[in-house]
Structure 1
């Protein structure tokens, strides 16, 4: 037996070979006697036998006892040989499993370790075969000394086979983690490959359905076609490409095919959504065109009633609004062309650009109207804005003093600053041409600063500080 035998050695073969060799003369003699008449055979054989002139030597007691002991040793050695052979066969399957799945240094060490144990098995097996072939225990003229020597050699061979078997068992126990990992990957392999095939089939069917509804889906068809070589490699199997690579390829194909299937199924919905967005954004562009025409009258009123500081930053709004609307309408025309060509990513990107332009325009146009509304309110009753801001400051001061005899300087200082800042803002309302917009922006800034102090106080108390 070798570490990787083409035809594993059978422990019965040495015994059968020796037995056949011992029995060959007896069979030849029987064939010869069959040709001679029985009376003549009796006449030739019986007198010689009774006269003690025959060539066969007869042994009794001690020789037969030694033969039996040697035969028992031979049988024990054969059992040990068979158990070692079976264990090696089983372990070879495990090693091949690891080799097929794992190429890590640990796996390579396991393979080389198995080869080393295989060489020890070869040596022990050779010793056993030599011991079996050394003496034919079935010979009629076997001497007691020869039988004793055979028993000793067979016992020694059996002991060596047992020792090597124990070494093989210890080596097999150390393969547990590697073998478990390899078997797990092998168990995943077939289902993963099947999932990949099914995902490709589902993607192909979804693509056919989309085309039947009049959608070309050329980009999806190209992505699906790019997976064809991967399917070919999957069909070639892990034996050619390796288990880890095949498993990774199957999972990647599944993901990409599933993405194609999902997009193909969503194509009708995507087309309808694109059409809806086109109509909606065109309507919004028209509405903003009408609203932007109202900005100039608003600016005129602002110029007439308020100081330049209240409206100078809005001077660009009419021109900018018109330009943005024109750009948005151009992007919408390009988006329509992309939709007609079923270039869905391009159509989506163009619609997003048009929407962003319209959002900017909407904010600018709304800012002009909001400015006039807020300036009108503060001009009519500035005290309402002052009271609102002072209330926010007092509320924060009460919170800062809760549970304390003196406020924390970290909180008191910014609140004192807020009070001073509010007073300075109120002063800007004095004079012939008050800067109402500066006043509004200052009071808003004061309220934001106060809100930050309140949030910090609550955070600190929530943390137990």
Structure 2
């Protein structure tokens, strides 16, 4: 509210409580005379004075006094409405400032514009009230009844206008509820969020100091923690400088990063011990694979001697691959040891993962040669076991395909019939002087996969039907 009349800050004293005008003080000789002559003479002297002195306004201005009182009451009511509107506007301005400090959305900007428009309406109503107050001096002795009546009407109209604007202001305030609630929620989160960030940074610093005390440099963690120092400075400067949303986001980000540094710093001794253990374990495994890979060549010699080329040709390069993989693994192990000594933990971890992958590949290749000889020996000795196993899988799939049906679904019967034919051809391939046992084994495996696929589709279709 832009202006406040002086009369409103010092409300007029009601007529009943206004001090009466004092009559001229009676000289001392006259007082003495009045005392001597007694009460009858005093009454006789006072009666003419009543007509000539202060009693004249009450005698001639009874209606004016009534109008003055009504005008004064209207003035007091208007002043109350003015102060009520002024208080409501001040309270609402605080709410608007709270919203703008937090929210820059289109809805918040609209609220600010609407509040400014309401402010102009408030100024107009206030000026009307002030003009009405300034236009009439209700304390004048010669106030006429018509003037008092006009003052009462203008003050009453000003009060009603103030009341209407107050209603608009109240309605606007009610509509601010969601925006104000959101802003107050963010403000309530601000101080705890900043404090959490400070505590997280402190905990990260303490964890880092603890790790360093055990002989670990943790330079990368120290660099990450140092990078958060400017963010802490901005947090300490406050939301008044950087804005509430930005400060909240910064506090949450600093908390996340500081917690990550703390967790890694606390785990650093354990991580170092784990890397040391993996270095020893993988070196032992590489040595064991070197010994096992030396046994591949005798296995290949036996395969070449007893079985057709198709049974072992894909294993020809296993010894060379195993030797090369082990050599690379040992090189990477040495690099991992160097990285560990330099406390480059991510590099050491990555190198050890590469070593493990190389050794896994070597292990599979070396094992494949021994497994091939074992399976070929078994099928050469008794192929019937593999045949029975495959036929059982086919019959199981056929029974499921016929379950609840007079004729099987062609989508199921077709693959199964083809699988039966493939099995017959595989069995026939075992006849002759030099049977291809490896082809027989791979074919029976493929047939069993086909049967399993049909079973899976049937169950899926029936499950979907239910």
Normalised by the length of structure 2, the TM-score is 0.91
Which residue in the other structure is 1:180 paired with?
181
Native 8 Å contact 2:75 2:156 kept in 1: yes
Partner of 1:100: 101
Q: Residue by residue, what CA displacement relative to the aligned partner does 1:424-454 show, whole Å, maximum 9, x if unpaired?
A: 1112212221111111000000000100001
Specify whether residues 194 and 76 from structure 1 end up closer, same or farther in structure 2 by C-alpha distance, changes over 3 A only.
Answer: same
| Residues 289 and 50 (structure 1), Cα distance of their counterparts in 2 relative to 1, 3 Å cut | closer
Partner of 1:461: 462
> Are 1:153 and 2:162 an aligned pair?
no
How far apart, CA to CA, are the structure 2 residues paired with 1:332 and 1:289? 15
CA contact (8 A) 1:292 1:321 kept: yes
1:226-237 to structure 2, matched below 5 A, reads 226-237=227-238
Distance 1:161 1:51, change over 3 A: closer
Number of equivalent positions: 452
> Are positions 1:12 and 2:13 aligned together?
no
Offset at residue 50 of structure 1 (A): 7.0
Q: Distance in 2 between matches of 1:464 and 1:439?
A: 38
Could you tell me which residue of structure 2 aligns to residue 63 of structure 1?
64
Contact 1:70 1:147 in 2 (8 A): yes
Tell me, yes or no, if the aligned pair for 2:11 and 2:76 is still in contact at 8 Å. no
Is 1:14–1:129's contact at 8 Å kept on the other side of the alignment?
no
Q: Offset at 1:52?
A: 3.7
Distance 2:153 2:197 in 1: 62
Going from structure 1 to structure 2, the CA distance change for 1:447 and 1:10 (only over 3 Å counts) comes to farther
Conserved in 1, the CA contact under 8 Å of 2:208 and 2:218? yes
Q: SS at 2:432's partner residue?
A: coil
In the TM superposition, 1:128-207 aligns within 5 A as 128-207=129-208
- Residue 400 of structure 1 is matched in structure 2 by 401
2:40 matched residue in structure 1: none
User: In 2, Cα distance between the equivalents of 1:83 and 1:427?
Assistant: 107
8 Å CA contact 1:314–1:368 kept in 2: the answer is yes
CA contact (8 A) 1:11 1:81 kept: no
Query: What SS does structure 1 have at the residue aligned with 2:465?
Result: coil
Q: Distance in 1 between matches of 2:31 and 2:233?
A: 79
2:82 is matched with 81
Residue 18 of structure 1 deviates from its aligned partner by 13
- 1:311 aligns to what? 312
Sort the Cα spacing of 1:441 and 1:61 in 2 relative to 1 into closer, same or farther, 3 A: same
TM-aligned CA distance change 1:37 to 1:256, over 3 Å: farther
Q: CA deviation at 1:188?
A: 1.0
> What is the CA–CA distance in structure 1 between the aligned matches of 2:54 and 2:313, rounded to whole Å?
143
Which secondary structure does the structure 2 equivalent of 1:403 belong to?
coil
**CA–CA separation in structure 2 for the residues paired with 1:407 and 1:54:** 127
User: Conserved in 2, the CA contact under 8 Å of 1:10 and 1:82?
Assistant: no
* SS of the residue 1:463 aligns to: helix
Q: Say whether the 8 Å CA contact 1:309–1:435 is kept in structure 2.
A: yes
Alpha-carbon distance between aligned partners in 1 of 2:420 and 2:50, rounded to the nearest angstrom = 145
Partner of 2:415 in structure 1? 414
- Mapping of 1:338-353 within 5 angstroms? 338-353=339-354
TM-score using structure 1 length: 0.91
Please tell me whether the aligned partners of residues 15 and 132 of structure 1 are also in contact (alpha carbons under 8 angstroms). Answer: no
In the superposition, relative to structure 1, how do residues 63 and 304 fare at CA in structure 2: closer, same or farther (>3 Å)? same
Equivalent position of 2:450 in the other structure: 449
For the aligned residues, what is the CA RMSD?
2.7
Where does the alignment leave 5 or more consecutive residues of structure 1 unmatched?
none
- CA distance in 1: counterparts of 2:71 and 2:31, whole angstroms: 36
